[in-house]
């Protein structure tokens, strides 16, 4: 294995943000994040922050328009760009009937959960959408649940009403009472309390499936751009899980695994 091959860039293109991580011998050394719209206008805004060397890049994307721009950018700059698809896996079972339907970011999360945390896991990804992915030791990636993300609640209230304002989800905003004294506070509380109870309710059902049916307590992993706003006491916060899954799968596929 060449020294150059031990370095890798991993790119996670989400609906709201794009995140680039630089790995050195399998260890995540640097992470840069920008808004997806900003990244679409100028892909260099991320790549210029990790040095000038042309390292292999593996990416996952849920935004086709941005993916096309990245492919074009890579071609113009002679970059080694590698997409991340379900058939990249050789050591993660996928028991989902139509694996091509699974978002590549969710598969990257599942891969990292399975190999780095526990083969029996639930990954809760709170972003533009809120997704729950179930991974088991006997079936690998089993399936999941897709629900609205917290920002989606606020957007819906604005788009579907005449008077409610457009708001953005606040980071770590606390409330001293369970009701608002203003329209804005009422909306933010509705999202915080409603999304929190929805998330816990879905998670409770998934936990019951594991514990009640299979007598296994899974590990719960929390990831996603909006996940810092919602505290799940039983979950391990893993903000770079997607990048770690991208890197590990690529390394195992192309270089076995980085141990040296």
Mind telling me the catalytic residues? 105
Alpha-carbon gap, residue 129 to 140, rounded angstroms: 23
Judge residue 90's burial from the number of C-beta atoms within 10 Å of its C-beta, 0-12 exposed, 13-18 middle, 19 or more buried.
Answer: exposed
Q: How far, in Å, CA of 87 to CA of 62, rounded? A: 17
- Partners of 222 in beta bridges: 124, 237
Q: Are 109 and 241 in contact (CB under 8 A)?
A: yes
Question: Cα separation of 108 and 110, whole Å?
Answer: 5
Instruction: Write the CB contacts of 65 (distance below 8 Å, at least 6 apart in sequence).
Output: 40
């Amino acid at each position: 294995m060449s020294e150059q091959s031990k370095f890798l860039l991993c790119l996670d293109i989400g609906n709201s943000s794009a995140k680039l991580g630089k790995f050195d011998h399998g260890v995540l050394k640097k992470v840069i994040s920008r808004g997806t719209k900003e990244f679409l206008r100028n892909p260099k805004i991320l790549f210029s922050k990790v040095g000038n060397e042309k390292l292999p890049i593996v990416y996952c994307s849920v935004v086709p328009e941005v993916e096309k721009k990245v492919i074009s950018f890579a071609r113009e700059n002679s970059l080694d760009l590698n997409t991340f698809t379900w058939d990249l896996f050789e050591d993660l079972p996928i028991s989902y009937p139509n694996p091509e339907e699974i978002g590549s970011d969710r598969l990257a999360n599942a891969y990292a959960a399975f190999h780095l945390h526990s083969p029996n896991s639930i990954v809760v990804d709170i972003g533009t959408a809120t997704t729950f992915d179930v991974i088991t030791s006997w079936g690998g990636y089993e399936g999941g649940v897709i629900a609205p993300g917290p920002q989606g609640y606020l957007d819906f209230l604005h788009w579907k009403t005449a008077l409610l304002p457009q708001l953005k989800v606040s980071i770590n905003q606390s409330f001293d009472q369970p009701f608002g004294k203003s329209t804005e506070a009422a909306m933010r509380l509705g999202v915080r309390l409603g999304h929190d109870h929805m998330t816990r309710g879905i998670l409770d059902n998934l936990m019951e499936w594991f514990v009640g049916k299979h007598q296994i307590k899974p590990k719960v992993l929390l990831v996603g751009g909006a996940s810092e706003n919602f505290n799940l006491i039983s979950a391990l916060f893993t903000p770079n899980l997607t990048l770690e899954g991208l890197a590990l799968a690529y390394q195992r596929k192309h270089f076995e695994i980085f141990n040296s």
